Amino acid sequence: MKGRFMRSLCGAAALSLVAAGAPLLAQNATGPTDADLMADASSPGDVLTYGMGPQAQRFSQLKQIDASNVSKLVPAFAASLGGEKQRGQESQPIVYDGTIYVTGSYSRLFAFDARTGEEKWEYDARLPDAIMPCCDVVNRGAAIYGDKILFATLDAHMVALNRHTGKVVWNKQIADYQAGYSATAAPMVVKGKVIYGNSGGEFGITGAVEARDVNTGELIWRRPTIEGNMGTLNGKDNGITGKTNASWPGDLWKTGGGATWLGGTYDPETNLLFFGTGNPAPWNSHLRPGDNLYTSSTLAIDPDTGVIKWHYQTTPHDGWDFDGVNEFIPFDATINGKPMKLGAKADRNGYFYVLDRTNGKLVSASKFVMQTTWANGINLKTGRPNYIDANRPGAPTTAKGTSVFASPSFLGGKNWMPMAYSQDTGLFYIPSNDWGMDIWNEPIAYKKGAAYLGAGFTIKPIADDHIGALRAMDPKTGKILWEYKNKAPLWGGVLTTAGNLVFTGTPEGYLKAFDARTGQELWKFQTGSGVVGSPVTWEQDGEQYVAVMSGWGGAVPLWGGEVAKTFKDINQGGALWVFKLPK
């Protein structure tokens, strides 16, 4: 796989900047403040955060576009990312002050005029030839603060640009790309700190969450996610994560994985960051007996100090690459007559978890996919899965171990693509996939910069009529109220609005709108390439707009095996599509 990416990257290390005109520089000289970011969910005139609010519910109060008129939605404009770098476009747009900011494949960032689609400027990171992205050369979005727009790059840098001109304000290396580190998630800004995770779990890296001064880029705190590693605060030691060798044998904690590759959410009410952690390394679970904390978990972290306040592990001793990085979305609900501060997570392992977000205590866990062959439920008293031991891949000797069939596949009941929560319906809308895999373990040893799996796999469909399924889940009951089935895997994010609408995209190229209460498909538009980005909506000049990135890619065509071959003819692309109602 590495060679494939290297060939693709030849000649890709060009810096392309188109300077903005003088009138643009005279616009808002400051920009979004901490207070603006925290109020993003209730400010319909812009999109300032990844998730449309720090809690990332992806719910808009706008309802000019609703279930009765969405069928009339038409394109306002489309803006091309251009060039030959048309890989997966998983970005979520940021919208502010008449400008739409989107990141593109190969660590690019674009500024487009929000009224015309005209490009204002473009920044291309200078990527070295030897980067080692696991799962396509994607980027999921940027963060905005003051006069800066910030994003991460595939060679593990965090870059701050002037949002008017695209010129570099600061550029900091966050990890060693030659050891397998990369970065693809959208950062977040909390209390003047840009906070982000890292990628590279398939290369035996050590996951971490870091916070830097948003104005200078200087490191404030660092919290590793694997037991035994030391955290820092203001350049000083700030306590070991967990307890050395408590759940890891020998020195395996030094290369334990647990990448925080999807980024996090923030809850102002509890002043907690929530970050999911990835798979333990290697995948071969027989080499690392124990729970392998804090992999495949949700961590609640103090944004001021980087101290872990609580954790919940969804797949202890993960042996299927189920990961646990999926977003944790805070919400409030009344359960059994008791108002509660909760959070929900649709995990790659196929279960939808509801936790008390103040302490991490499990409230409920419900299956949201067709099959979970690795476990037959979650014990609500212990919070642990009821494992089916016969369905863990066998230990290898000198050759591969016993192969088992596991469902979901390692690509997950839900992968990176963010779900949405409607404050109107009280439902979560989950972009899910029904598939399985044959998986077996193989001998493996760590080598810096080399793949560190110790497993092989073949992904298989488990249903005749679909792989993807958009499902509406009631978090109070764990019941699925409706579902929309899609032939190809769903790989894009979800948006829901007060107009009783749910938007999401499909690999077949469509952006679609559904009735939020019934699941009836109300509208679709063909964008020309697979939609694997996250749609957003905002109000501008008295009109409501909807935008989404189009461009097929991501992990499915790279890792999907026979399933990927089924959809090999989907065209790649790179375009921002913006829609509104006709006047």
* Residues taking part in catalysis: 321
State how far the alpha carbon of 426 is from the alpha carbons of 282, 481, 534, in Å: 39, 12, 20
570 close to 530: Cβ distance less than 8 angstroms: yes
Tokens 């961590």 locate to: 299
Please give the helix or strand (H or E) that residue 556 lies within, else none.
helix 555-559
Tokens 């099959």, located at residue: 371
The CA distances from residue 89 to 53, 530, 555, 578, in Å, are 21, 9, 12, 15
Exposure of 35 by Cβ count < 10 A (0-12 exposed, 13-18 middle, 19+ buried)? exposed
Q: Which two tokens stand for residue 189?
A: 């800004």
Q: Cα(335)–Cα(163) distance, rounded to whole angstroms?
A: 44
Cis peptide before 32 (omega within 30 of 0): no
CA distance 190 to 263: 13
Residue showing tokens 């998983």: 90
- What is the C-alpha to C-alpha distance for residues 460 and 457, in angstroms, rounded to an integer? 10
Q: 362 near 344, Cβ under 8 Å?
A: no
- 337-374 burial code (b ≥16 CB/10 A, e <16): eeebbbbbbbbbbbbbbbbbbbebebbbbbbbbbbbbb
Sheet holding 428-433, edge to edge: 420-421, 428-433, 468-474, 479-486
Taking alpha carbons only, the member of 67, 76, 82 closest to residue 95 is 76
Phi, psi dihedrals of residue 132, rounded to the nearest 5°: -130, 65
Hey, how many other C-beta atoms are within 10 angstroms of the C-beta on 567? Answer: 18
Calculate the alpha carbon distances from 452 to 252, 376, 565 in Å. 12, 29, 25
Decide the pairing of beta strands 59-60 and 494-497.
parallel
